[in-house]
Chain A
Amino acid sequence: MKGYYAKRIFSALITLLIITTLTFVMMHSIPGGPFTRERPVPAEILRTLNEKYNLDAPIYEQYFDYLKGLVTFDLGPSYSKIGTTVNDLIISGFPASAKIGLYATILIVLFGIPLGIVSALKQNKPIDYLVMFMATLGVTVPSFVMATLIIYFFAGKLGILPSFGITSPLGYIGPVLALSGYSLSFVARLTRSSMLEVLRQDYIRTARANGLSEFKVIYKHAIKNALIPVVTYIGPMVATILTGSFVIEKIFAVPGMGRYFVESVGNRDYTTITGITVFYAAFYIIMVLFVDIAYGFIDPRIKLGKEK
């Protein structure tokens, strides 16, 4: 068991190294440096800038410097926001993104799973059709459209929600709803189909034949097994939610990490792009690792280390 964790953590680190290298190479293969402007920067200033950011050093030296920085959790300075480091950006942006992401995840778990279960239990009844109709809508409407619709109706027409910022608790409603829409619908659909499959299993019939109350059959026997695929989805979903928040943060003007990322893409702020990518990658890898470990607890049939 311990060996398995060690192996997983090791391979996660290797993956991270490869991703860092990839992003680094990509960023440095772009024609034109970070200080290329429409109006050329005077050679003198360019030289000083390059010297300051160590850009005239050979590429492998820059690479090792960058790796050295990474080990000490130093992602380097931002090229376009003078005087701030990428660390500053992440520290100032991540809490807002994480908060929205967390609320969205809670919303998804609290509503998506029960809706799916109810829908499966009332299969082909009006409630089922209603839930599935909403869920189908949810997966077809892109999150940015959902966000703009929320702004249009709730902030514009009705005026009950603020259209930007998260300074008041009400401000969270819009971004969280828009962010969770897709995954909420997906989780509801997934729970429903998985629940339907479990309800057809023999052991459920046995449980019913043994005279267990319907409540016990569903809550003690069916749900536990029906949730396994849902848990698999929810782990990586957290990361999807974070990347999904790029757009949501832009629309709702939330001062989060996603907005910095989108801005840095526009500004060609390479260190920020690389830094935030590596941060996201690390976050994602940790989440997946976490789910894998949690898996063993939920489903003892899965023996870690012996998969595939």
Chain B
Amino acid sequence: MADERFVFIKDNTEDMETARPSLTYWQDAWRRLKKNKLAMIGAFTIIFVLLFGLFGPSLTKYSYSDQLNKFKNLPPRLEIFNVDENLNFHLSNDYNIFLVTDNGEVYDRLEPDKNQRDMINKIYIYKYGTEDNYEEVILDFSYNLLPSKQGYDYNFTIEYDGVVYTQPNDKVFNRTFPFGTDDLGRDILTRVMYGTRISLMIAFIATLVNLLIGVVYGSISGFEGGKVDEFMMRIVDIINSVPLILYVILLMVTFKDNDGLTNIVIALSTVYWVSMARLVRGQMLALKEQEFVLAASVIGVPRYKIIFRHLIPNAMGPIIVSMTMMIPSAVFTEAFLSFIGLGVSAPQASLGTLANNSLTGLLTYPYQLFFPALTIAIIILAFNFLGDGLRDALDPRLRKG
């Protein structure tokens, strides 16, 4: 046969049907996820919260355990008495007078003059200025006590430079402590950032450990089947037959001696893997009947390789979804434990301990609860949004639509 009979056909791309570039499973899922607005909001919020917790504490001027005795229980929004140019007084809920600049920086606290205070009538004199050259500030709380001073619609006065103020005439945001300070004078913003870091760290580590144990346990159980499966699932059933939080509490009580952080991680990760194991087992049962597994075992791929190279990657979708849902529930559980006093030990603080600490002064200083609680809610909401989005993006049942 002569070679000239063979002619190369021209590379004609125009005639070919222009197909969409084929997408892998993950590319397709990512495309779907990008379209889901709520999920993307969730994802960005998570990134933001992570940055907030990781880098936030090093950006503020204070450390989470710094106690500034002078500035206790300062709220994030200050009610001020404007008494002079760039001089404002803030009377705090525990009756201290703070000096505030016009744009809301708290820079000092006035000390009462111990020689001049009138404890019986509750009239206090504060000194503003230096030791020799000062102005008197008179804080008068006698309106509830003295019969001669009753019948006014205010119950205290502040007198400075001859002018009497009966109520705050302005409000500014606290620039020095944007979230306020707690009862030991610690900056709440820093503490919330630090607490976020601790809470998320516990949640991530516990979830990773759960993932590892659950995936290995579940895939062995599902792949082996038969007696092994039955025995392994019996154990899971027994663990699961009691509210898991009870085990966690028992474990926390049992090793109270270690560092609180380690305890929580151990307690959470020894218990919560059971749901992951169940999920993975279910996936394995469905997947192991498929042809590619048969093909792999026919060409002699060892069993562990079949599990880790062929089965687990195919079950990754539901695993990731369940992992995303595990993180907020770990945050929840951790907060719950800290709240009943089994959490991380002081001076460390998680969002749960912060919420717990704020309880004693709740009615007077509600902002001390507000910020940690809000952060917990934001974290849980963000992970829920992302998890829902991931489920929609990864669930093969919905892939037709």
Contact = CB atoms under 8 A, between A and B. Distances in A.
Is B a genuine binding partner of A? yes
Interface string A120-150: 0000000000000000110111101100100
Nearest to A270: B253
A240 interface: yes
A240 B366 CA distance: 28
B381 A156 contact: no
A152 B340 CA distance: 19
B131 interface: no
A107 interface: no
B270 to A, nearest CB: 12
Given A148-B369, A273-B253, A288-B241, A156 B362 contact: yes
A127 B340 CA distance: 37
A156 B363 CA distance: 6
A231 interface: no
A262 B341 contact: yes
B376 A145 contact: yes
B238 A15 contact: yes
Contacts of B251: 26
B377 A145 contact: yes
Contacts of A98: none
B355 to A, nearest CB: 6
Interface string A233-263: 0001001100100110011000000000010
Where chain B touches its partner, the secondary structure class is: helix
A280 B246 contact: yes
B1 interface: no
A91 B211 CA distance: 40
A82 interface: no
A280 B243 contact: yes
A145 B339 CA distance: 10
A284 B341 contact: no
A266 B341 CA distance: 8
B373 interface: yes
Most buried by B among A136, A145, A284: A145
Interface in B50-66: none
A12 B342 CA distance: 30
A272 to B, nearest CB: 11
B232 interface: no
Interface string A205-224: 00000000000000000000
A31 interface: yes
Interface string B289-321: 000000000000000000000000000000000
Nearest to A289: B241
A281 interface: yes
A243 B366 contact: no
Interface of A: 12, 14-15, 18-19, 22-23, 26-27, 29-31, 136-137, 139-142, 144-145, 148, 151-152, 156, 236, 239-240, 243, 246-247, 250-251, 262, 265-266, 268, 273, 277, 280-281, 284-285, 288
